[in-house]
Amino acid sequence: MPVVPAQPFDYSFPEGRLALVVIDMQRDFVEPGGFGESLGNDVTRLQAIVPALQRLVTACREAGVPVIHTRECHRADLSDLPPAKRDRGDPALRIGDPGPMGRILVAGEPGAEIVPALAPLPGEAVIDKPGKGAFYATAFADALEAANASHLLMTGVTTEVCVQTTMREANDRGYECLLVEDCTESYFPEFKAATLEMVRAQGAIVGWTATSDQVIEVLSP
């Protein structure tokens, strides 16, 4: 089996059973003027991972590793948006409100789309999710089954919220997950650092971590 040098120990995966999961690399989170910036966050931190993630996505496509994308977004009538999510805190803009890129985190609006540099190719699965985890109220599990995946490369934003939630959900379902360190990011660097430590603690209790270069070297011919 291919082996990636990783923490806390090497990560191996069976041929044909690996998939890349790219979580919520959407304009509303990554680009200036989006929802993330409206909350007072520095979106340049998230933008900085795009080149490494581009390289990883390209390497996976060339190696025949399925790429699965997720988008956090809601129906236009907000029927799948619970008040506990919409009404939390005191942000300048809330989900569903008009923003610079259309209604915030509403399916079909420009801000809910994946950034152009990471646009899905025809045939790649794109999962719209109303929650933080990718399994809740979605066809994500079906997409993983269609990809014959048992091992997952986890990437995207934000590390401590949607990425970690999905990784923990996947771990509970028996998937072996590797979080790619330079292909995930948080608005808060200390949160990312803590998440990396948490997932690989106690003998990879949630999963492994490694860099994109370490993964690409194993995927490339």
Confirm whether 129 is a catalytic residue.
Answer: yes
DSSP designation for 161: I
Confirm whether 42 is a catalytic residue.
Answer: no
Radius of gyration in angstroms for the set of CA atoms belonging to the chain, rounded to a whole number: 17
3-state secondary structure of 71: strand
Angle formed by the axes of helices 50-63 and 212-219, nearest 10°: 20
DSSP run (H or E) holding 47: helix 44-47
Among 60, 73, 162, 183, the active-site one is 162
For residue 185, the cross-strand partners are 157
Confirm whether 192 is a catalytic residue.
Answer: no
For residue 22, the cross-strand partners are 69, 155
Among 24, 28, 128, 182, the active-site one is 24
Among 129, 132, 183, 192, the active-site one is 129
Cβ neighbors of 44 (< 8 A, separation 6 or more) are none
Active site positions, annotated: 24, 129, 162
